[in-house]
Structures are given as C-alpha cells and as structure tokens.
C-alpha cells in the first residue's frame, strides 16, 4: 500500500516573522559574544546552519543560504582588500566563520521580508 504524501503546514506570517527576527538576534548575540573564540563560533554557526537547513528540507532555503554564504564574504573580502576595514585576529581577509554567518543572516532577512509582506497583504516577491 502506498502511503499518502504528507503536506507540510506553513507557519503563519506572524510566526515566520518572529522566527526570522529570533534568528537574526541569535546571530548578532552569538557573534558579539563569541567572536574571540573563532573555533567555538564556527561550530555554533555550522550547527545552527545545519539544523536550519535540515529542518527546512527545501532546495530554495539551501540556495538562499549558499548565496549568502558565498556572496557576503566575497564582497567583504574585496572591501577588506581595498582597506575599507579589517578583521582583528585573522591571517585571511575575512574570518573563516563568516560564510555560515552570512548564510544565516540571509535566511533571517528572507524570512522577515516575506513574512512582513504577507502580514501587509502584499506579495513580498513583487
């Protein structure tokens, strides 16, 4: 017998807004408090990224995370190279924990924007 496919219930826009803001707050707090222990910070950000991506089980979410994880640090590397700012305590242009931080930041931003658009009754994609 074939099992019927289960459909995932999409959370309400308000819940998605709260989750997106909570993700952003988590990221800011963790980076602010743990930046001087980069290995621990990397472990925490990779763990949060894996948990988020596994919970979402969505190609779209994974692509947003990858876009942020690649484009964010790439842009920062160019800025650092030209002297706009520099990171303390790193031999490289940007810290190695930056890609998962940018990936999570991107997901939080997408969640907040889409949820806010849904709450306002507008299509956030237009």
* pLDDT, tens digit, 9 for 90 and up, residues 33-92: 999 999 999 999 999 999 999 999 999 999 999 999 999 999 999 999 999 999 887 888
Q: How many CA atoms lie within 13 A of 15 on its CB side?
A: 4
Give the residue numbers spanning the domain of 50: 13-119
Asked, for residue 94, whether it belongs to a domain, the answer is yes
Determine, yes or no, domain membership for 99.
yes
Does residue 71 form part of some domain?
Answer: yes
Q: How far apart are CA 119 and CA 111, in angstroms?
A: 12
The closest of 13, 17, 45 to 30, measured between CA atoms, is 45
What's the rounded Cα separation, in Å, for the pair 100 and 50?
A: 10
- For residue 5, the model assigns a pLDDT of 54
Collapsed DSSP state (helix, strand, coil) of residue 41: helix
More confident residue, 7 or 102: 102
Q: Give the pLDDT score at 81.
A: 93
Cα–Cα dist 40/33, whole Å:
11
pTM (two decimals) = 0.85
Residue 28 within any structural domain of the chain: yes
Structural domains counted in the chain: 1
| Per-residue pLDDT at 95 exceeds 70 | yes
Give the whole-angstrom CA distance, residue 94 versus residue 80: 8
């Amino acid at each position: 017998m074939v099992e019927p496919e289960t459909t995932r219930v999409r959370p309400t826009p308000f819940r998605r807004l709260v989750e997106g803001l909570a993700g952003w707050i988590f990221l800011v707090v963790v980076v602010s408090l743990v930046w001087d222990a980069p290995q621990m910070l990397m472990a925490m950000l990779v763990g949060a990224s894996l948990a988020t991506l596994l919970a979402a089980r969505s190609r779209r979410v994974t692509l947003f995370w990858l876009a942020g994880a690649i484009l964010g640090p790439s842009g920062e590397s160019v800025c650092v190279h030209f002297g706009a700012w520099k990171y303390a305590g790193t031999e490289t242009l940007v810290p190695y924990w930056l890609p998962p931080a940018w990936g999570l930041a991107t997901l939080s931003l997408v969640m907040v924007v889409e949820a806010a658009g849904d709450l306002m009754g507008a299509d956030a994609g237009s």
